[in-house]
Structure 1
Amino acid sequence: MSTRRQFLGAAALALGSAAGALRAAGGRLELAATDVHVRGYPTVEALRWIGETLERETEGRVGLRLYHSGQLGRESDLIDLARFGAIDIARVNMAALNNPFPATRILCLPYVFDDTAHMRRSLDGGVGQEILAKFADRDLVGLAFYDSGARCIYNTKRAIVQPGDLHGLKIRVPPSDIFMHLIRALGANPTPLPYGEVYSALQTHLIDGAENNWQSFHTTRQFEAARFWSYSGHSYSPEALLMSRRRFELLRPDDRDRLLDIARRSVAYMRSLWDESEAASRDYVLTHGVAANEVDRAAFERAAAPVVARYREDADVDRYWRGIRELSGIG
């Protein structure tokens, strides 16, 4: 048995025992939810809102215990822990889901979305809802999609304007083949690392840079090490809010419907928090020594085009891509 499987098995037993103890307390059902982001981050606060709303609407019969800041492990581990029923709800970025759930790849492809509004229309529409339903194929329930902003490149060396400026740089990517292919196509050396290890990797020069959104750049303090931010907007890779199907099916039918409804309602709340915090994070880091610049977007799109073409050879990816592009420019 691999070390990772042994770890997951032990974690599943431990978390499962803890979850059982929570459920036994006074007959109250308390769901365990997890997020790698810190307290105050929009997705964490959206989960908190779900818990408060669920408790209020069930008169205290059902609640939620939230583990933020990566207390229960990496996103890649949380997917399996939720599938096994060791935890109830996990907020996971789409990049970590690309390999086990191929339908999610379209949501990470470079320049598939024009902007945040285009992404939100796509996730709220037919394509997004079809992908959300795909999680049932591997023992998960797709509750909702959350924002993760425009991913841009930042580094410790220089401003990036043309893809050629990335040549020779080691850029951290999440554990997704798409991001590996993209960063390599842009001319840099992709270095996969867990989210929680990026700050120290920048400090120790294990990597030269990374790519992510304003809030992650800010809340992880990575801006203290990487002083050059380049607006590439190459991906909007959203978040998925997933629930263990085993735990979901243990709920009363009316509580299942209630939880699904509350999760969908939480999206508007999360988006309002996201928009506010994005502006605040951008303003903060720009007043703390970070230099920001625009990239030559047309040049970046040309460099990324072979990656898109490669994935569009899959019929489902191509169908999703066409559906998303049809929503481009709709006000």
Structure 2
Amino acid sequence: MRYKTLIILMLLSGLWSCKKESGTKIMYLAHGLPQTHPVHKGILKFQEALHKKSGGKLAVKIFPDGQLGSEREVLELLQIGSVAITKVSAATLSNFVPEYNVLGIPYLFRDKAHQFSVLEGEIGKSILKKGSKFWLRGLCYYDAGSRSFYTKDKAIRTPEDLKGLKIRVMNNQMAINMVNALGGSATPLAYGELYTAIQQGVVDGAENNPPSFVSSNHYEISKYYTLDQHSSVPDVLIMGTKYWDKLTDEEKQWVEAAAAESSEAQKQYWNESVAESMQKAKDRGVEIIIPDKSLFAEQSKSVLEAFEKEYPELADLVHQIKAQ
């Protein structure tokens, strides 16, 4: 119902993906993150770079904080051409493009350098383009860090410590399979309900990156944060093809160049945010646990095996990434 209401409001207000003012094409970009988030800062860099590279011919108007709806709702707005650009998790895009599923495989990447070597190389660029048949064209990847476990009452030091614990996960099959493989009980739950769910014991914990752990205030009620770094699912800046196809070749080059510049800047913003978030968590008394990640990697191998059985056509892509 909210989605229909948004469309009606947008029609009434004249808000569309692009309009022209004084010779400038203005693109609308919506996302659900707060303005303090490093991804929003990366988007501001995109806005600045695009204005500069286009000589003011292309401009971006940003709607943060979920002003135009949830991640899924904004994706739908891109598909029909009501919004030009958004930021979503690769996990969300996997519902449209199976290749994005690969990026969520536990311990797929050896480290951050390996991850972005893959994402910014031919493999990553190829995946970005595969969403076009669903009217969603990827522009670049943003660093969303590595997801790790945090719990309210029981510390997780080895996979065995997850047994019997209800762990909130995104409504994504890869995430569900991973937590279950490690011995926990995966519990999909809306992110907005998670603070109360942890506080009241509906779930025992969750998993996310440090900036999200702190910005959500979950560090206020979770005593333990285990940096097992089980998955490194990037965010993706995407443009609806209904808008992309209207751009000239020169305009497309400006957009891609601005996206690449914003991606580089966003990595630095992310690193700064991680350091700040970890310090806040420590100051709050959260115990930061550095486990033996090889134990978690070994225990989660069955997730990759199940994935390759379900998507045999993507097994070669996994091997290419691991070999790079």
Give me the TM-score of the superposition, normalised by structure 2: 0.93
Aligned pairs (5 A) from 1:175-194: 175-194=171-190
Q: Is residue 154 from structure 1 mapped to residue 142 from structure 2 by the alignment? A: no
Corresponding position of 1:121: 117
SS in 1 for 2:15: helix
Instruction: Say what the alpha-carbon RMSD is for the aligned residues.
Output: 1.9
- Once the two structures are TM-superposed, the CA of residue 24 in structure 1 deviates from its matched residue by 5.0
Residue of structure 1 aligned with 2:297, choices 295, 301, 310? 301
SS in 1 for 2:137: strand
Q: Pick which of 7-16 and 65-74 moved more.
A: 7-16
In 2, distance between residues paired with 1:232 and 1:45?
27
Q: 1:303 to 1:252 in 2, by over 3 A?
A: same
Q: Is residue 103 from structure 1 mapped to residue 105 from structure 2 by the alignment? A: no
Corresponding position of 1:225: 221
User: Residue 324 of structure 1 aligns to which amino acid in structure 2?
Assistant: I
Q: 1:78 to 1:192 in 2, by over 3 A?
A: farther
Corresponding position of 1:265: 261
In 2, distance between residues paired with 1:293 and 1:66?
38
8 Å CA contact 1:95–1:175 kept in 2: the answer is: no
- Once the two structures are TM-superposed, the CA of residue 220 in structure 1 deviates from its matched residue by 1.5
Q: 1:278 to 1:134 in 2, by over 3 A?
A: same
Q: Is residue 323 from structure 1 mapped to residue 320 from structure 2 by the alignment? A: yes
Deviations 1:235-260 (A, max 9, x none): 00111111111012223332122111
Aligned residues: percent identity?
Answer: 28
- Once the two structures are TM-superposed, the CA of residue 22 in structure 1 deviates from its matched residue by 6.7
Aligned pairs (5 A) from 1:141-290: 141-290=137-286
8 Å CA contact 1:13–1:86 kept in 2: the answer is: no
Q: Is residue 91 from structure 1 mapped to residue 87 from structure 2 by the alignment? A: yes
- Once the two structures are TM-superposed, the CA of residue 42 in structure 1 deviates from its matched residue by 1.5
In 2, distance between residues paired with 1:120 and 1:49?
19
In 2, distance between residues paired with 1:159 and 1:262?
43
Aligned pairs (5 A) from 1:41-80: 41-80=37-76
8 Å CA contact 1:30–1:64 kept in 2: the answer is: yes
8 Å CA contact 2:17–2:84 kept in 1: the answer is: no
Deviations 1:115-140 (A, max 9, x none): 21111111112221111111112111
User: Residue 78 of structure 1 aligns to which amino acid in structure 2?
Assistant: V
Corresponding position of 1:14: 9
Q: Is residue 136 from structure 1 mapped to residue 132 from structure 2 by the alignment? A: yes
In 1, distance between residues paired with 2:280 and 2:251?
41
Deviations 1:106-165 (A, max 9, x none): 100101112211111111122211111111121111100111111100011111012221
Q: Pick which of 300-309 and 74-83 moved more.
A: 74-83
User: Residue 99 of structure 2 aligns to which amino acid in structure 1?
Assistant: A
Q: 1:175 to 1:81 in 2, by over 3 A?
A: farther
Q: How many residues align?
A: 322
Q: Pick which of 254-263 and 15-24 moved more.
A: 15-24
SS in 2 for 1:12: helix
Deviations 1:156-211 (A, max 9, x none): 11110122211222211112110011111112221222333322332333322111
8 Å CA contact 2:17–2:81 kept in 1: the answer is: no
8 Å CA contact 2:17–2:27 kept in 1: the answer is: no
In 2, distance between residues paired with 1:200 and 1:289?
20
SS in 2 for 1:63: strand
- Once the two structures are TM-superposed, the CA of residue 73 in structure 1 deviates from its matched residue by 2.2
Corresponding position of 1:37: 33
- Once the two structures are TM-superposed, the CA of residue 13 in structure 1 deviates from its matched residue by 4.2
8 Å CA contact 2:3–2:69 kept in 1: the answer is: no
8 Å CA contact 2:17–2:243 kept in 1: the answer is: no
User: Residue 257 of structure 1 aligns to which amino acid in structure 2?
Assistant: Q
- Once the two structures are TM-superposed, the CA of residue 62 in structure 1 deviates from its matched residue by 2.1
